[in-house]
Structure 1
Amino acid sequence: MDDLLNLVSVVYHRFSNNLQGTLASMSPEKWIRLVIIAGTYMLLRPYLLKLGARSQMNTHERESAEGVDDPNRKAAMSPNELRGRVNLPEDSDSDGDEDDSGKASGADWGKRARRRQREMIKKLLDAEEKRLQETREEEEDKDIEEFLVKE
């Protein structure tokens, strides 16, 4: 507790000494310069705020006219159009910074998640190919059975 009171006392004395020293060493030219700077700031501040508000309002109006904030605006591509498109990622385990050439992905996944996703897509494609191959073999078997003679 004594340390805290000592710290507050030191800060107070240093601040008061520095402020007194600064004000005592001010010449009339420095006082005039200080008054001009503070007065200019106080005179120009309301105009700068109005200018900033006007600029912000123009930007907001332009965006609303373009429909950027419109909740009824249609997306460029619907989620239904994305279904069925299979994009098999490459087998590389790199982060993809040099391969993507600046393209951002929808999900910022880690290496293990990308690897699991890649393996899952491969399994699904393999299962679909296997199913198609089995249906082709069944059709071939049916064609062959037509020509077989039953005894």
Structure 2
Amino acid sequence: MDGLVNLATTVGNRFATNLKGTFTDLTPEKAIRLVIIVGAYLLLRPYLIKLGGRAQMQSHEEEEARAEAEAKAKISPNELRGKVNIPEDTDDEDEAAARASGPDWGKKARRRQREVITKMLIAEEKRLRESREEQEDKDIEEFLVKE
């Protein structure tokens, strides 16, 4: 127990002596240097933290991309059936390639696919319009008097 008390008093005495010596030997030149170092640290600290955050974010994104690539490699073609997205109506290769989650289609293939979908939509709208008109005709026939 005496050794522990002796160690604590020694550490306390050395700390007090070193702290007192630091301030007694502090010249104006050393004080200015200390203020510059502390000020530079305070000014640069937020930028250093942001830089570290960006580096960490890039590291996480690379790790996530690597894991995603490994996961995609493990997916069988049967799992992808019916999940192919049709590219949007744009002729810009870069935007369409960036947004398409399906296979990389050529410009002509995308255009042909858009035309097919457009024709299908027009046919469906026409069919709905005709059925609506037939329904209206039946409604009107109810009110007509047959003699």
TM-score, normalised to structure 1's length? 0.43
Structure with the larger helix share: 2
